[in-house]
Amino acid sequence: MIKGRDFIVFSDDWGRHPFSCQHVMRHFLPDNRILWVNTIGMRLPRLCLYDVKRAFEKVRSWADPAPPVELPLGLRVISPVMVPLSPLASVRAFNRRSVLGAVARASRDLDLRDPILLATVPNAADYAGLCGESLVVYYCVDEFSVWPGMNLPEMVRELEADLLRKADLVMAVSDELVARKSNGRGPTHLLTHGVDFGHFSAAAGPVAVADLPEALRWLEGPVIGFYGLIDSHLDIDLLADLLAARPHWNVVLIGTRRIPLDALERFPNFLWLPAVPYGELPRYAARFDVAVIPYVVNEHTCTANPLKLREYLATGKPVVATPMTEVLRFDGVVRIAASCDAFVAAIEDELRSPTPAAPRWEVLEGETWKDKAELVSCWIEEALAASGTPRPLEGTT
């Protein structure tokens, strides 16, 4: 692993939820220093409970900059004031001054030297090239222009095109994104998601009833489980048909709700639980008899790489999923079903005669987050060797 370097990372809020960039960059600590810049979303906010709550969280982070979680050694997190009205030129200029000013002050405070700028969000294009960085890395984790609820797709595409032009190194999480995200100056590297195998494999062993979460402890019958963000990715019709077809199965969804679940809540064998901390997920997965990814298949899900897929495989539980492109690479260890009837049949087969965990664990060889971080480190060192002189610091005060 690379050592003794400084990084500036533009990404989702550190510690808010587990995501790929945070998993990867943890392995760069403490032998490197990281200035982590919490950013805002790229769509116009709406008058809904989720957006109001999110706005409150951001304002609170500006008023109280202390992170809500203890930070690893070598990490500094800042939350510059940013206004989510990016189409307005004056707002975009304000955001640029605010972010660059905060980055410049933190960089001087930390005495950062020739930092490597790594971004997972297209709006980092407004700051790339202006932070004194010696290298720009774009880590493309999603097709943001088609993200559910995105109401500024053209602006996102323009920002991403600008970031790609500035990037010295480009990485993407799926084959489809690798094909789409090229700047013509070098290869776009495939960096699929990793997994904390030791953490999730704990769900595979025998678990005493007393150690199971109370909400799942006394469920009778098989548990068909899902955890993650509950939004328009989910095929609600498929789940409703599944609940109707097998009333003796429990279908459990765990995660933050962004869509109504009325169509599912009318079934007595459906259970929704709020999001649980990352550290608790194996306890909940231990009660799953089959883990599922019942996503609609569309442009967005076929460019995505579901983070939970490798986590499910690490639990050793049978996995049934709809035929998304990145899931197909695991055909043979994941049961893939395109229709409700096929989904029900695949689950039924696994309940009747569960396949062993070993083949699922074998495909995770070399797929840990540490393995992914070592790949990133290698690509960065290659890019540094080919790069020119560091760019000057242009942050404002």
For the stretch 105-123, pLDDT in tens is 999 999 999 999 999 999 9
- CB-side neighbour CA atoms (13 Å) of 143: 19
Instruction: Work out the pLDDT band at 83, boundaries 50, 70, 90.
Output: confident
**pLDDT recorded at residue 63:** 60
- Please report, rounded to a whole number, the percentage of residues in the chain having pLDDT higher than 70: 90
Separate counts of helices (H) and strands (E) for the chain: 15, 13
As a whole number of angstroms, the distance between CA 136 and CA 384 comes to 10
Query: What is the torsion angle, in degrees rounded to the nearest 10, for the CA atoms of residue 238, residue 240, residue 243 and residue 246?
Result: -60
213-223 mean pLDDT: 94
Mean pLDDT of 151-159: 86
Q: Are strands 319-321 and 290-293 parallel, antiparallel or unpaired?
A: parallel
What's the pLDDT score for residue 49? 57
Q: Could you give all domains of the chain from N- to C-terminal order, each with its CATH number?
A: 6-194+368-386 (3.40.50.2000), 197-362 (3.40.50.2000)
Compute CA distances 296 → 43, 118, 238, 302, whole Å.
22, 31, 9, 9
User: Tens digits of per-residue pLDDT, 302-334?
Assistant: 898 999 999 999 999 999 999 999 999 999 999
Q: Quick one: tokens of 332?
A: 């043979």
pLDDT classification of 396: cutoffs 50, 70, 90? very low
| Per-residue pLDDT at 236 exceeds 70 | yes
Determine the pLDDT at residue 66.
Answer: 62
pTM as predicted: 0.89
**pLDDT of residue 168 exceeding 90:** yes
pLDDT for residue 228: 95
pLDDT, tens digit (0-9, with 9 covering 90-100), for 13-46? 998 788 999 999 999 999 999 999 998 766 555 5
| pLDDT computed for residue 209 by the predictor | 86
Distance CA 265, CA 173 (A): 34
Average pLDDT over residues 142-160: 84
Q: How far is Cα 272 from Cα 251, in angstroms, rounded to an integer?
A: 9
pLDDT interval class at 82 (50, 70, 90): confident
Q: How far apart are CA 311 and CA 288, in angstroms?
A: 13
DSSP strand pairing (290-293 vs 270-273): unpaired
Q: Which residues contact 64 (CB under 8 A, 6 or more apart)?
A: none
Residue bearing the bigger pLDDT, 83 or 178: 178
Map 235-254 to HEC letters.
CHHHHHHHHHHCCCCEEEEE
The amino acid present at 169, given as its one-letter code, is L
pLDDT(151) > 90: no
**Mean pLDDT of the region 40-66:** 57
Q: Which of 33, 34, 30 is nearest to 14 (CA)?
A: 34
Average pLDDT in the 74-86 region?
Answer: 88
H or E segment and range at residue 49 = helix 49-63
Q: How far is CA 33 from the centre of its chain?
A: 22
C-beta neighbour count of 262 within 10 angstroms:
8
Task: Pick the closest to residue 136 from 159, 121, 151, 119 (CA basis).
Answer: 119
- Residue 362 vs residue 207, higher pLDDT: 362
Indicate the SS3 state at residue 57. Answer: helix
Mean per-residue pLDDT, 53-69: 58
pLDDT surpasses 90 at 61 = no
Please give the Cα distance from 283 to 299 (Å, whole number).
Answer: 33
Average pLDDT, the chain: 90
- Where is average pLDDT lowest: 8-17, 102-111, 258-267? 8-17
Residue 165: pLDDT over 80: yes
Which DSSP category does 85 fall into? -
Residue 175 has pLDDT above 90, yes or no: yes
* pLDDT band at residue 389 using 50, 70 and 90 as cut-offs: very low
List strands edge to edge, sheet with 33-38: 75-78, 33-38, 6-11, 116-119, 135-140, 169-172, 188-190
C-alpha of 190 from chain center: 16
pLDDT for res 106: 97
* b/e code 41-74 from CB counts within 10 Å (16+ = b): bbbebeeeeebeebeeebeebeeeeebeeeeeee
Confidence of residue 192 (pLDDT cuts 50, 70, 90): very high
- The rounded percent of the chain whose pLDDT value lies above 90 is 76
Residue 392: per-residue pLDDT: 43
